[in-house]
């Protein structure tokens, strides 16, 4: 992306004779092979295909020591429970564990054949795109501006970040009061434009409320990371850029944005998972725990069926479907998008 105009000249390649400690990552030749197995291998070794360190340590044991704590936590607290969730998805079971019927794929069938479920899936996709785009865009805009100004910069930063600290139940309560169909100020705002905002009754009015509150909650998160990304851009680079590119927009596009790409890629994936998974408390508050025919996301449905309705099998099947879909999405992003991300 920035190969020619990159801020730093790329260091000369290290050669094989650099000792036992450090070796090159071998060039991958798999891409030329055509067998299914090879393509599969190429796929799961995606990490190696991506731009990575040209120099790495080559020790058999040390990396395991570093990765072991995380691995242990993940295995015990993620994979163990997840395996149980997958098992449950093939049963319809009494929540207290007294009876259960093996139903094979029925839970999956029930979920995907319901038109309600498909509508929810469509809304989730729409919601995901809108919230991610808005919160990333606004977060970036504010971070760039906050990075630029000198006077009052600390005040802006503190104010913008501190919003993230407001307790979720209270944030939800405030969102609810802002959009209240009887006394909410935002209802009055819409009334000025001749629109009667009826959150909780009208599908798209509720969607507006959900999107606004979700974006509001997420902007500070993106702001923090974009800002820390911007502030790690070395001053000499900025000064060089200032000379190279006169127009602020071109400077931003050609110099700053590529340097932010690793952060942006991280935030893109995090924001998608945020909208998919972490917005259900907002939905719960706005629909006052009665979704009726208001829009909801797939995770809210899992929460509704599993946690509120105690349908363990059905909700497990829905979580497994979600996991597979999001896993596929993430892999795709790593495979296709990360190639365009240039690391240092």
Strand partners, 199: 202
Asked if 184 touches other proteins (CB under 8 A), the answer is yes
Which 70-99 positions form the footprint of other proteins (CB under 8 A)? 70-71, 73-74, 76-82, 84-85, 88, 92-99
Do residues 317 and 169 touch, judged by C-beta distance below 8 A? Answer: no
Which 282-321 positions form the footprint of other proteins (CB under 8 A)? 287-288, 290-294, 299, 302-312, 314, 319
Comparison of 36 and 149: residue with beta carbon closer to other proteins: 149
C-alpha to C-alpha distance for 121 and 329, rounded to whole angstroms: 14
Q: Which of 2, 5, 56, 191 binds other proteins (CB under 8 A)?
A: 56
Least distance (Å) between residue 38 CB and other proteins: 15
Asked if 201 touches other proteins (CB under 8 A), the answer is yes
Q: Which of 2, 28, 51, 340 binds other proteins (CB under 8 A)?
A: 51
Which segment (27-35, 123-131, 189-197, 220-228) binds other proteins by CB under 8 A? 220-228
HEC string of 102-149 equals: ECCCHHHHHHHHCHHHHHHHHHHHHHHHHHHHHHHHHHHHHHHHHHHC
Kindly state the helix (H) or strand (E) to which residue 187 belongs, with its residue range.
helix 185-192
Other Cβ atoms less than 10 A from the Cβ of 157: the count is 17
C-alpha 172 chain-centroid distance: 21
Asked if 269 touches other proteins (CB under 8 A), the answer is yes
Asked if 52 touches other proteins (CB under 8 A), the answer is yes
Least distance (Å) between residue 313 CB and other proteins: 8
Asked if 105 touches other proteins (CB under 8 A), the answer is no
Asked if 246 touches other proteins (CB under 8 A), the answer is no
Give the pairing type, strands 91-93 and 100-102. Answer: antiparallel
Which segment (31-39, 129-137, 189-197, 326-334) binds other proteins by CB under 8 A? 326-334
C-alpha to C-alpha distance for 148 and 144, rounded to whole angstroms: 6
Give the pairing type, strands 22-24 and 100-102. Answer: unpaired
Asked if 254 touches other proteins (CB under 8 A), the answer is no
Closest C-alpha to 322, from 259, 275, 264: 275
Comparison of 33 and 58: residue with beta carbon closer to other proteins: 58
Least distance (Å) between residue 32 CB and other proteins: 19
C-alpha to C-alpha distance for 302 and 314, rounded to whole angstroms: 8
Least distance (Å) between residue 35 CB and other proteins: 19
Which three-class secondary structure state does DSSP give residue 202?
A: strand
Q: What is the sign of the dihedral through the CA atoms of 82, 84, 88 and 93?
A: negative
C-alpha to C-alpha distance for 128 and 145, rounded to whole angstroms: 26
Asked if 249 touches other proteins (CB under 8 A), the answer is no
Do residues 102 and 91 touch, judged by C-beta distance below 8 A? Answer: yes
Comparison of 123 and 178: residue with beta carbon closer to other proteins: 178
Which 118-157 positions form the footprint of other proteins (CB under 8 A)? 138, 141-142, 145-146, 148-152, 154, 156-157
């Amino acid at each position: 992306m920035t190969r020619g105009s990159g801020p730093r000249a790329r260091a000369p390649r290290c050669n094989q004779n650099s000792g036992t400690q450090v070796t090159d990552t071998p060039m991958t030749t798999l891409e030329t092979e055509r067998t299914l197995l090879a393509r599969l291998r190429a796929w799961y070794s995606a990490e190696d295909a991506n731009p990575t360190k040209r120099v790495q340590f080559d020790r058999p044991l040390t990396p395991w020591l570093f990765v072991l704590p995380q691995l242990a936590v993940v295995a015990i607290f993620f994979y163990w429970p997840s395996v149980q969730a997958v098992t449950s998805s093939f049963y319809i079971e009494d929540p207290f564990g007294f009876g259960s019927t093996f139903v094979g794929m029925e839970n999956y069938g029930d979920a995907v054949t319901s038109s309600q479920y498909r509508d929810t899936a469509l809304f989730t996709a729409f919601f995901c795109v809108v919230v991610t785009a808005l919160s990333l865009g606004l977060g970036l805009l504010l971070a760039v501006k906050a990075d630029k100004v000198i006077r009052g910069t600390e005040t802006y930063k503190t104010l913008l970040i501190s919003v993230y600290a407001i307790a979720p139940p209270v944030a939800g309560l405030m969102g609810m009061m802002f959009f209240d169909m009887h006394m909410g100020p935002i209802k009055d705002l819409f009334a000025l434009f001749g629109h009667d905002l009826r959150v909780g009754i009208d599908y798209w009015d509720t969607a507006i409320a959900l999107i606004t509150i979700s974006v509001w909650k997420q902007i500070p998160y993106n702001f923090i990371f974009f800002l820390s990304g911007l502030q790690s851009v070395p001053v000499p680079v900025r000064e060089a850029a200032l000379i190279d590119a006169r127009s602020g927009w071109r400077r931003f596009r050609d110099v700053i944005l590529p340097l932010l790409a690793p952060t942006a890629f991280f935030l893109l994936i995090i924001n998608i998972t945020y909208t998919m998974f972490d917005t259900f408390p907002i939905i719960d508050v706005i629909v006052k725990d009665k979704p009726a025919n208001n829009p909801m996301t797939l995770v809210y449905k899992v929460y509704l069926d599993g946690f509120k309705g105690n349908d363990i099998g059905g909700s497990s099947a829905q979580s497994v479907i979600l996991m597979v879909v999001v896993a596929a999405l993430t892999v795709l992003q790593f495979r296709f998008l990360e190639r365009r991300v240039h690391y240092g």
